[in-house]
Amino acid sequence: MTAAEILAKQKEFLFPSVRPYYEEPLVADRGQGLHLWDKDGRRYLDFFGGILTVSVGHAHPKVTAAVTAQQQKLVHVSTLYPTEPQVQLAEKLVQIGPIKPAKVFFTNSGTEANETAILTAKLATGRREVIALRHSYGGRGAVALNMMGQAPWRLMESEIAGFKHAHAPYCYRCDFGLKYPDCGVRCATDIEPLIQTETSGKIAAFIAEPVMGVGGFIVPPPDYFKVAVPIIRKYGGVFIADEVQTAWSRTGKPWGIDNYGVTPDIMTFAKGMANGQPIGATLARADLADALKGLSISTFGGGPVSMAAALATIGVIEEERLMHNAQLLGERLKLGLTALAEKHRGIGDVRGLGLMQALELVKDRGTKEPDAAGATQLLEATRRRGLLVGKGGLFGNTMRIAPALTVNAAQVDEALALLGEALAEAAI
Ligand SMILES: Cc1ncc(COP(=O)(O)O)c(C=O)c1O
């Protein structure tokens, strides 16, 4: 099929919400390492990795070999039959994860991982009220939709009660008009009056992303979780870290929450865990996991092929010391973005951790009015130059830059040069 035929069929046969990037969508054909090729053979430097999911590069040979071998041996049996890859990966997660002792439940997506975490917290505490964050993204199941803090993604009015939304740790747009550190981390201390006034005072959980991904790579201040989490625990809730975007060394530490010196009670994973193979995982303190005793099955959860892909991906991250690469190259990327912000007045904020960096675009640095049109133009301009980046944020004005952890210095420099040209073209 030609690109035009594929686009025509996409329009005719897929739900309209399956909405691709770009005025003329990019029909992806193949990928290798940091590069993606479209159907017309044009090569792109991929600095978004299928939404932070291609964590060790497209078609990494070790992941491909592991998936192919597993595909030839055993593809599916359901969780009714234990398999070696499933217990191997569960053991690995328990060994490398910060929660001890812990147990794992495998699913197929971040949505399911989060819904499993919420269900576990509710069953373990016998309570239903949950604190989530404004600007958060949780997935597209009913619970996840009602949990998240962004109207454009919720699609309809709330159907599930019990979620209360705390102020986001969004320093660039502080809801209280304060500045860190003089603010006393007000966004975190405000959780206590939120619990006292908006809930029964008996909460099941607090769910938060260590860096808010879809929200526009919002990085909470350093002591945010050290202040917020004890408040949650004081009221009997457990802390769920949604690590769907931030795990696997992405932020330059093993887990996103490691940047904050707090140990969660439950963690959720998906995206980059299996380099593109569908997967979700919920890691919970063993006593909490033991609350999920009743019948609950994920037909494809723990599937041998996804398990093999995850084991290989984690192996590559460890063997190739990619956490170190995320620190080094993340620093290089951030320095380059900061230099671009000195030249381009439309960049209001540069933020991020490791290889998860963002530019928030504004019409005016004083008023901070979001520049969504500028972000759209910039997205098109980067694509014209052969660079793929993402967009996000409640106002659609944040560029998300997150290459595979295998990226090298030359590729970071190339991306920065292309981004600089695109910023000039879009008059940012
Ligand atoms: C932080 C976070 N949690 C959960 C999800 C949902 O994951 P999935 O799309 O795999 O269901 C996403 C997806 O973007 C996410 O970014």
Q: How much is the pLDDT for 269?
A: 98
Distance CA 185, CA 220 (A): 10
Distance CA 118, CA 200 (A): 18
Helix or strand run (H / E) with residue 163: strand 163-166
Separation of 51 CA from ligand 1 center, angstroms? 9
Separation of 138 CA from ligand 1 center, angstroms? 6
List the one residue out of 305, 248, 243 whose CA is nearest residue 273: 248
Q: How much is the pLDDT for 333?
A: 98
Distance CA 78, CA 76 (A): 6
DSSP lists the bridge partners of residue 241 as 208, 267
Question: What SS3 class is residue 272?
Answer: helix
Which is the closest atom of ligand 1 to the Cα of 209? 1
Distance CA 136, CA 209 (A): 7
Separation of 34 CA from ligand 1 center, angstroms? 22
Distance CA 274, CA 70 (A): 14
* 295-312 b/e (C-beta count within 10 Å ≥ 16 → b): eeebebbbbbbbbbbbbb
Phi-psi region of 248 (alpha: psi -120 to 50; beta: other; left: phi over 0): left
Q: How much is the pLDDT for 394?
A: 97
The gap from C-alpha 276 to its chain's centroid, in whole angstroms, comes to: 13
Q: Whose CA is nearest to atom 7 of ligand 1?
A: 110
Which is the closest atom of ligand 1 to the Cα of 141? 11
Among 54, 55, 111, which residue has the most ligand 1 atoms within 8 Å of its CB, making it the best to mutate?
111
Which is the closest atom of ligand 1 to the Cα of 140? 11
Helix or strand run (H / E) with residue 418: helix 409-425
User: What is the set of domains in the chain, with CATH numbers?
Assistant: 3-56+321-425 (3.90.1150.10), 63-319 (3.40.640.10)
Separation of 319 CA from ligand 1 center, angstroms? 27
**Torsion sign over Cα 298, 302, 304, 307:** positive
Q: How much is the pLDDT for 356?
A: 98
Separation of 184 CA from ligand 1 center, angstroms? 30
Query: Directed axis angle between helix 372-384 and helix 409-425, to 10°?
Result: 120
Separation of 139 CA from ligand 1 center, angstroms? 5
Residues with CB under 6 A from ligand 1: 51, 109-111, 114, 137-139, 209, 213-214, 242, 244-245, 270
Residue type, 189: T
**Torsion sign over Cα 145, 146, 150, 154:** positive
| Long-range contact set of residues 192-198: C-beta below 8 Å, sequence gap at least 24 | 192/231, 192/234, 194/131, 194/164, 194/166, 195/131, 195/164, 195/231, 195/235, 198/164
Find out whether 275 and 60 touch, Cβ atoms under 8 Å. Answer: yes
Lookup result for tokens 């049996």: 77
Distance CA 314, CA 249 (A): 10
Alpha helices, H only, 246-348: 286-289, 304-319, 322-343
Q: How much is the pLDDT for 96?
A: 98
Which is the closest atom of ligand 1 to the Cα of 108? 10
Among 51, 150, 209, 245, which residue has the most ligand 1 atoms within 8 Å of its CB, making it the best to mutate?
245
Record the tokens describing residue 392, joined without a space. 């996000």
Instruction: Provide the residue-wise pLDDT of the chain in tens; the chain has 428 residues.
Output: 999 999 999 999 999 999 999 999 999 999 999 999 999 999 999 999 999 999 999 999 999 999 999 999 999 999 999 999 999 999 999 999 999 999 999 999 999 999 999 999 999 999 999 999 999 999 999 999 999 999 999 888 888 889 999 999 999 999 999 999 999 999 999 999 999 999 999 999 999 999 999 999 999 999 999 999 999 999 999 999 999 999 999 999 999 999 999 999 999 999 999 999 999 999 999 999 999 999 999 999 999 999 999 999 999 999 999 999 999 999 999 999 999 999 999 999 999 999 999 999 999 999 999 999 999 999 999 999 999 999 999 999 999 999 999 999 999 999 999 999 999 999 99
Which is the closest atom of ligand 1 to the Cα of 112? 11
Separation of 110 CA from ligand 1 center, angstroms? 4
Q: How much is the pLDDT for 122?
A: 98
Q: Whose CA is nearest to atom 13 of ligand 1?
A: 139
- DSSP secondary structure string for all residues of 119-157: HHHHHHHT--EEEEETT----SSHHHHHH-S-HHHH-SS
Separation of 142 CA from ligand 1 center, angstroms? 13
Among 244, 257, 266, 300, which residue has the most ligand 1 atoms within 8 Å of its CB, making it the best to mutate?
244
Q: Whose CA is nearest to atom 3 of ligand 1?
A: 138
Which is the closest atom of ligand 1 to the Cα of 246? 1
Among 116, 133, 137, 255, which residue has the most ligand 1 atoms within 8 Å of its CB, making it the best to mutate?
137
DSSP lists the bridge partners of residue 206 as 131, 239
Which is the closest atom of ligand 1 to the Cα of 278? 10
Mode of pairing for the β-strands spanning 203-208 and 238-242: parallel
CA distances from 38 to 35, 41, 44, 275 (A): 10, 5, 8, 20
Local structure of residue 33 (DSSP, 8 states): B
Which is the closest atom of ligand 1 to the Cα of 114? 4
- pTM beyond 0.85: yes
Q: How much is the pLDDT for 344?
A: 98
Count CB-CB contacts under 10 A for residue 238: 26
Q: How much is the pLDDT for 159?
A: 87
